Structure formats: structure tokens, C-alpha cells
Amino acid sequence: MVGVFCAVFVPVYFGAGFLAAISGRARVLDLPFENDLPLVPWMIWPYLSVGMFFLLPLAHLRADEIDRLTRRMVATILFAGVVFVVLPQRNLFPPPHVEGLEAPLFALLDAVDTPHDLAPSLHVAITALIVAAVARRAPTVLVVVYAAWFALLTASTVMTHRHHLIDVATGLMLALAVNAVRPRGDGVRTPSRR
């Protein structure tokens, strides 16, 4: 799953970011009050926890369910890549000046992140797909934990000034749309609650 994800994500994300940058058409899609949203440096920790979500399917899903989730993630990345190129965005917020423990993490993100791949937020869309897939199988108490973790991660995309609210909303809508598509033979099993 992670290998296929990386093989698609890396060229699409960075390729789309490059094409968006050279297009000269990037614009800001923000809501009027977003300029007043504070930067919360400690939220970089939940933001970076996105990688941990990739372990959840291994703990809860069968191989065929992981394959189905991987196909959905690939479709999400490809669709988002097209949007990034056709409707390139730029961030309203300047690169944040952060001191202390979180400073190197922000510096690393600024060095590797592309500034034009904002809407839809793949951070939100991919994580939403993983949580939705795992929620069908995980015990109720873990579903609650994963949902709270996902909510914190989603909030962190805005509170670290990496994304706008529109990016988050379109990321959620993309995940919902991809999950709504049910190819033939894509049966959804009921959760195993303990």
C-alpha cells in the first residue's frame, strides 16, 4: 500500500506543484476571517502524524480491503493532481517564523513542501479515506480515538498555516466522493465491534 502510494504521490504531487508554480496563475482561496487565525506551532505534531495513519489499515483490514483502499487513495491523488494544475493555489500566510522545538519541523516542511498544492487538501482527503476504511472494522472505542485524532490532524492543517478552510472542505468532499463510488464487487462489510 505505502509503496504504491509513494509511487503515485511523489510524481503527481511534486509534478503538479512544479507545473502550478510555472503557470503564474496561482491565487488565494480563503475566507475573509482566515487572516486572523493564529499560528499554533505545537499543532505541527498532529500535522506530521499523518504517516502514522498508514499503519492503521495493517492492524484492521484484510489484504483485499487494503487493495481497495489503495485504489481509492490513488484515484484521490490523481484527481487532486489535475485540480492542482488546472486551479493552482497559493497560501495566504507567509512562511511562519517559529522558534523552539517545532522550528526545525517547520523549516523541513518549508524546504520540501510545494506551495501550490493546497485545494483539495491531500492531507485531509487521504487520512479521511483511511479512517473511513478502518472504521468499518475497528472496535467502537478505537473508531472514536481515530476520529478524534483525525479531527485534530484536520485542525492542524489550518492552525499550522499550511492550508485554508476551503482546502480542508474540498479534501473532505473529495474523500466522500471517492468513497461513494462503488465499483462492481466492492462490497462493504459490516464492522467487527468488540
Per-residue pLDDT, 19: 84
Among the ranges given (88-92, 105-109, 155-159), the one the predictor scored with the smallest mean pLDDT: 88-92
Give the pLDDT score at 194: 46
Q: Which helix (H) or strand (E) holds 34?
A: none
pLDDT at 157 over 80: yes
- Torsion sign across C-alpha atoms 145, 101, 160, 87: negative
Residues 6 or more apart whose Cβ sits within 8 Å of residue 173: 120
Q: pTM for the complete prediction?
A: 0.85
The pLDDT confidence band at residue 190, using thresholds 50, 70 and 90, is: very low
Q: How far, in Å, CA of 101 to CA of 91, rounded?
A: 24
97 — pLDDT class (breaks 50, 70, 90): confident
φ, ψ of residue 150 in degrees (nearest 5): -60, -40
Short-list 90, 109, 89, 88, CA closest to 98: 109
Mean pLDDT of the region 161-187: 84
- Evaluate if residue 107 carries a pLDDT over 90: no
- Phi and psi for 24 in degrees, rounded to 5? 70, 15
Q: Is the pLDDT of residue 184 over 70?
A: no
C-alpha grid cell for residue 163?
Answer: 492550508
Residue pLDDT, tens place only, 137-147: 999 999 999 99
Measured in whole angstroms, the distance separating CA 152 from the mean position of its chain's CA atoms is 12
